[in-house]
Amino acid sequence: VVHALPTKYPYDPSNPGDVRAAELEDIIHNKFILDATYLGRYSQKTMEGVNHILSVNGGKLDLREEDFEMLEAAKDLNDFLGINYYMSDWMREFDGESEITHNSTGAKGGSKYQLKGVGRREFDVDVPRTDWDWMIYPQGLYDQMMRVKNDYPNYKKIYVTENGLGYKDEFVDGTVKDDARIDYVKKHLEIISDAITAGVNVKGYFIWSLMDVFSWSNGYEKRYGLFYVDFETQERYPKKSAYWYKKLAETQIIE
């Protein structure tokens, strides 16, 4: 099974409202699926948060006995957990209506995310972010993997199934000098190494992506590839990161 698991933090850890917002956002994106996958049930704390969100928004959840029978039967059958990780989020308490503005053009600062009964994402934090307002925070991957190890010890093993940097690549003289992408991947691999040292059973890493591809939410402008694609001619050109990653794969040494 593969889950996208963005880590959530309170904007102000000393503010109980921010802590609560981070907990509720974490339930929506992470605990609700991890509990079902590995516990075969929902923890009391998870269900308390889910029921709060439903009550505030006038929703309901149809949970049936046979659903939990299947979850219980399946909880130890996963061969591995695949984690797609690109970013973390910082949450503030929020009392208002839901509003989400997706930054699909790469205009930094164009994102807005606030959920009624949950909280609001704070983008102005002391953390690097992409033009698409995705927070670059490798520590979040470490924290997420440690959470899996500690809270779901029947996970068996982990693969990082997606990780990479979406960027407005500048194609100059037949290539892209994408040092920012190299730095992004390097720091995430270093944090994965730290997690392995801490006892997490990580068995592999898959970069996103081999070449630039079409994005359903960003079209052709946001590029992730190790290879630059001219979408008019379909020609492929190795970026600086392609040579760096090739050497890394051959030597397994992070430089």
Give the distance, in angstroms, between the CA of residue 225 and the centroid of all CA atoms in the same chain: 18
The model's pLDDT over 47-101, given as tens digits with 9 standing for 90+, comes to: 999 999 999 999 999 999 999 999 999 999 999 999 999 999 999 999 999 999 9
According to the model, what pLDDT value does residue 228 have? 98
User: Within 10 A of 139 (CB to CB), how many other CB atoms are there?
Assistant: 15
Question: 218: pLDDT confidence band, cut at 50, 70 and 90?
Answer: confident
What pLDDT was estimated at residue 153?
Answer: 97
Number of domains in the chain: 1
Q: Which residues contact 110 (CB under 8 A, 6 or more apart)?
A: 101, 103, 133
176 lies in some domain: yes
In sequence order, the 6+-apart residues with CB closer than 8 A to the CB of 228 are: 169, 171, 175, 176, 211, 212, 236, 237, 238, 239
Output b/e per residue, 24-54; b: 16+ Cβ within 10 A.
Answer: bbbbebbbbebbbbbbbebeeebbebbeebe
pLDDT greater than 90 at residue 236: yes
Distance CA 246, CA 226 (A): 10
The fraction of the chain above a pLDDT of 70, given in percent, is 100
For residue 229, is it within any domain? yes
CB atoms within 10 A of CB 103: 20
Is residue 187 assigned to a domain? yes
Task: Indicate the pLDDT class of residue 221, thresholds 50, 70 and 90.
Answer: confident
- Is 166 contained in some domain? yes
CA atoms of 108 and 212, how far apart (whole Å): 21
Is the pLDDT score of 118 beyond 90?
Answer: yes
Average pLDDT over residues 173-177: 97
Per-residue model confidence (pLDDT) at position 81 = 98
Show the domain range for 174: 139-251
Domain membership flag for residue 74:
no
Instruction: Give the distance between the most distant pair of CA atoms in the chain.
Output: 62
pLDDT tens-place string over residues 14-57: 999 999 999 999 999 999 999 999 999 999 999 999 999 999 99
pLDDT over 90, % of the chain: 96
As beta bridge partners, residue 76 has none
pLDDT band at residue 229 using 50, 70 and 90 as cut-offs: very high
Query: Domain for residue 104, yes or no?
Result: no
pLDDT at position 219: 87
In which band, very low, low, confident or very high, does the pLDDT at 217 lie, cut at 50, 70 and 90?
confident
Interhelix angle 240-251/179-197, rounded to 10 degrees, is 30
Residue 149 lies in a domain: yes
CA distance 55 to 59: 6
Average pLDDT, the chain: 96
Within-domain flag for 68 = no
